Amino acid sequence: MIRLKDVMKEYPNGTRALNGLSLEIQDGEFVFLVGPSGSGKSTIIKLLTGEVIPTEGRVMVNGFSLSNIAEWQIPYLRRTLGVIFQDFRLIENKTVYDNMVFAMRAVGAAPREIKKRIAYVLKLVGLENKFSRLPDELSGGEQQRVAIARALVNNPSTIIADEPTGNLDPARSLEIMTLLKRINELGTTVLVVTHEKDLVNRFSERVVMLEKGRVIGDGVGKYGVNVHA
């Protein structure tokens, strides 16, 4: 579960990115986090992954309190999260399979477990026949699916996707979002940060709208039309 309560975040240069923001996401939910540039979307992701700590207020993520988390606990928090980025962030000189292995090895998984889990996850994202390809031999949509597979490979309870379709055409974007929805249906909490109104409106999911570091709308419905404040 994710809970932010009266969170204020001010950076050392004086920029106030979040201004008393409160938000709660239950386990198993699918949530779109939308808002213009500078509304605080990126800061929320940084707070949830432990890259920054709140200046004021409380942040709880999957049982970790990020307001007073010890440095050694941060890796263990991150193991409960799978993060997906707009620019995929794959290792260019490793194959699809080795990118997966790398992510599992990094958390100390045993070789037998790795083999079994990767086969399952690659099948889930539809890339079971492309495991030996290098990232630049794949299309943008396929690369993002590898990134999703990597985020899933350590079996996190929450997926955080930061503009996952920002580099993709509309058809591939829809594919990726459908895949994330399917992952959510299998029990994983999914938080998607995006500004693609049309894409959000194709799904009847919870939409949280941000502006100037505050929640200005939160509800199920169409982005920009009938989201209730």
Per CB under 8 A, the segment of 75-83, 173-181, 194-202, 215-223 that binds another protein is: 75-83
| Residue nearer to another protein on the CB measure, 150 or 206 | 150
Q: Is residue 145 part of the contact set for another protein (CB under 8 A)?
A: no
Number of residues that bind another protein (CB under 8 A): 23
Token digits for 27? 């386990």
Nearest approach in angstroms of CB 82 to another protein is 8
Say how far apart CA 122 and CA 130 lie, in whole Å.
9
Q: Is residue 53 part of the contact set for another protein (CB under 8 A)?
A: no
Nearest approach in angstroms of CB 63 to another protein is 14
Q: Is residue 51 part of the contact set for another protein (CB under 8 A)?
A: yes
Per CB under 8 A, the segment of 7-15, 22-30, 107-115, 177-185 that binds another protein is: 107-115
Nearest approach in angstroms of CB 219 to another protein is 31
Closest CA to 78 of 96, 61, 94, 95: 61
DSSP 166-225: TTS-HHHHHHHHHHHHHHHHTT-EEEEEE--HHHHHTS--EEEEEETTEEEEEEES-TTT
Q: Is residue 105 part of the contact set for another protein (CB under 8 A)?
A: yes
Are 159 and 188 a contacting pair, CB within 8 Å?
yes
Q: Is residue 225 part of the contact set for another protein (CB under 8 A)?
A: no
Q: Is residue 14 part of the contact set for another protein (CB under 8 A)?
A: no
Nearest approach in angstroms of CB 214 to another protein is 28
Q: Is residue 116 part of the contact set for another protein (CB under 8 A)?
A: no
| Residue nearer to another protein on the CB measure, 101 or 179 | 101
> How wide is the angle at C-alpha 225 spanned by C-alphas 180 and 216, nearest 5°?
80
Interface residues toward another protein, by CB under 8 A: 49, 51, 72, 75-79, 81, 83, 89, 91, 93, 102-103, 105-108, 110-111, 150, 154
